[in-house]
Structures are given as structure tokens and as C-alpha cells.
Amino acid sequence: MKITKINKKQIFKIFVLLAMIGIACFLCKDSLVPVFLKVKETKISTIAMICIISLGYFVFEGINLWRLSLIYTPSFTMAQGVSCSFYACFYRTLTMGSASFAAGMYYLNKKKVPLANTLSLITLQYVSFKIAIALFCGICVFSDYQYMHTMYGDYFSFILIGFLLTILITTVLILICVCTPFHKLILWVCSKLNRSGKYTEQINKMNAEFVSLREGTYFLMKDKVAMASLVFRNLIRLIFWYCLPCFLFGTTTLSQIRHTISISSLITALAGVLPSPAGIGSTEFLFTAFFSRIYGTTLAASSMLLYRFATFIFPFFVGILVVMCYDDKKKL
């Protein structure tokens, strides 16, 4: 078969993609090997179940992206929203969280969502997700306070600080989306630090981004019911990952399930404020530390490996398929 310029370009893209995946796997081999060894010794039915549960998390993220994108592009489909979720997940994992926003914006723009509106759309989805995390954690901790205090009384000052930081980060994100005085304060601080004028162009670009973000967010937030539904869907989205430990630890009674979900919500909230790339190492540490109090260190550590596979590695491989199949001429 004759190799055309288009074929050469596609082959080159696949080669670069595989090289990036290879480098990422090599750099993370110390953390990946234990996970794959644990997966190898686990029943296929168990692996299939945790993967199915994990899929629900990304499906609901895709639904959120779909509903928001419809405002700008009526032809945008739910399947494209789910594909965008895995597409961004692939680059988030590959770059330890640094390229997630850019990848999502790129995908949406290629699907006819105006580039000027992709930032506000992705940001609003992210902010609503952070609101859902803080809300879910607050409800769980306060409704299950007695049990949490009994099990983690010596951690409670740390837990309280972490929860307050989660609320603070969420508040700052909301201010970044909609608050003009907050934007002016940031620009004022930047201008004071830019005495030499070396970064004037970057500050002007930042100002333009703030204006675009405010306008896009205000436009998206006109429908209050839709915004409430966005947060509600993120709450459902979180349930999928919070139920994973219930399955891994074999919890059966309602009280056990309730306690496990509460602990899972707390782990997610605290992992978001610890200094770790994409929350990866912090999630592993907190998962083992919190659940070892209940199930023992050995079971908590082994379950953490399966949890990491379901929430981190499996979505990454699905993202690889999405990226490799991605073609502007297709609906994917």
C-alpha cells in the first residue's frame, strides 16, 4: 500500500504518542509494578466490576461537558462529552495534571465549541466539581461525626484544617470565575511586581482572559436550575469512586457502607489540598492511612493498589484508545 503524506503524519503521531506513553511508564515503573502485580493475582470478575464502577465517574463528567457544550454547539453529543472526559484524563495522567485543561479545551474547540468559551466551560465544570467535593465531604463528616471522631480523633485537627482549605480553594476558584474586584486585585499585585515592565504583555493577556472567563461564566450561569443540576450530577459522579472501597473491602451492612463512603469523601477532599502531582501520591497515602485503622495495613495497602488501578491506570488506558482513535473527521 502506498504511504501518503497523511498516512505518514498519522504514523508519526502514533509513534510520538507511544513514545510518550513509554517514557511515562518508565518514569512511574516503581509505582506501576505493584499495581499490575496485584491486578494479576485478582479475579477477573473483580477487576471487571471495579472498572465498570470507575466508568460511571467519567460518564457523568462527560454528561456535564455535553450539557454545558450544548449551550454553544447544539450538535455536540453526549458520546463526544464522554470522549472529551477520557481525552483530558489521558493528558492529565501523562503530564501529572498539568495539561488537563488544555486538552479539554482543544477537544471541545475541535468539536465546534468556540475557543473563547472553552476556558469558562472547562473551568465552570471544574469549580462545580470542587463544590460537590466540599459539599459531599461536609455532609458525610458532620452526619457521621461520632464515628469519624472515634476512629480519627488524633487526626481531627489535620482533618479540620484540610476541610477548611478545601472550602478556601473552592471559594478562590469561584472568585476567579466571577469576581471583578478579585481580578482587579490580582492585576494590581502583578502590576506592582512588574516594575521593569518586562511582563506587561503577559499581564494584558491575563486581563483579557479574566474578561473572557467572566463573560463566559455569567452566560453559562444564567440558568440557575442547570447550574444546580451540574453540581448534583457531580455529586452522583463522586458516588461511583466513593463506592469503590465498599466493594474492595467487602462492606455489606448499611452502617459499614455509610462509614466507608464518609472516609472516601474525606480522603478525596484532603488529597486535593496536599502538595502532590494531580493528587496521586497524596491519595495513596491517605487511603492507606485512613483505612488501615479499620481493616489493617495489609488489606488497606492491597486495596489501595486496586483503587489506584480503577481510578488512575484503567481510565488512562481508555484515554489512550480515545486519543488514538481521535479524528476530526469522525464523531469521536
Picking from 13-17, 42-46, 159-163, 213-217, which range would have the lowest pLDDT averaged per residue? Answer: 13-17
- Do the Cβ atoms of 274 and 156 come closer than 8 Å? no
Average pLDDT over residues 63-67: 93
Cα distance between the two ends of the chain: 26
Q: Is residue 330 one of the residues assigned to a domain?
A: no
Q: Is 309 among the domain residues?
A: yes
- The DSSP secondary-structure symbol of 29 reads H
Distances from the Cα of 174 to the Cα of 47, 168, 236, angstroms: 38, 10, 21
- State which residues form the domain around 9: 5-325
Count CB neighbours of 29 within 10 A: 10
pTM of the model: 0.84
pLDDT of residue 14: 67
Asked, for residue 332, whether it belongs to a domain, the answer is no
Is a pLDDT exceeding 50 seen at residue 1?
no
**Number of domains observed in the structure of the chain:** 1
What mean pLDDT value characterizes the chain? 83
Q: What is the mean pLDDT of residues 80-84?
A: 93
Phi/psi of residue 329, each to 5°?
A: -85, -5
Q: Under a CB-based contact definition with an 8 Å cutoff, are residues 71 and 218 in contact?
A: no
Q: Which run of H or of E encompasses 112?
A: none
Grid coordinates belonging to 110: 475541535
DSSP letter at 253?
A: S
What pLDDT, on a 0 to 100 scale, did the predictor assign at position 328? 45
Lowest mean pLDDT among 129-143, 146-160, 277-291, 306-320: 277-291
pLDDT score at 23: 67
Residue 303 vs residue 154, higher pLDDT? 303
Question: Is position 122 within any domain?
Answer: yes
Mean pLDDT of 265-283: 74
Distance CA(281)–CA(75), nearest Å, equals 39
Torsion of CA 104, 124, 63, 227, to 10 degrees: -170
In a domain, 296, yes or no: yes
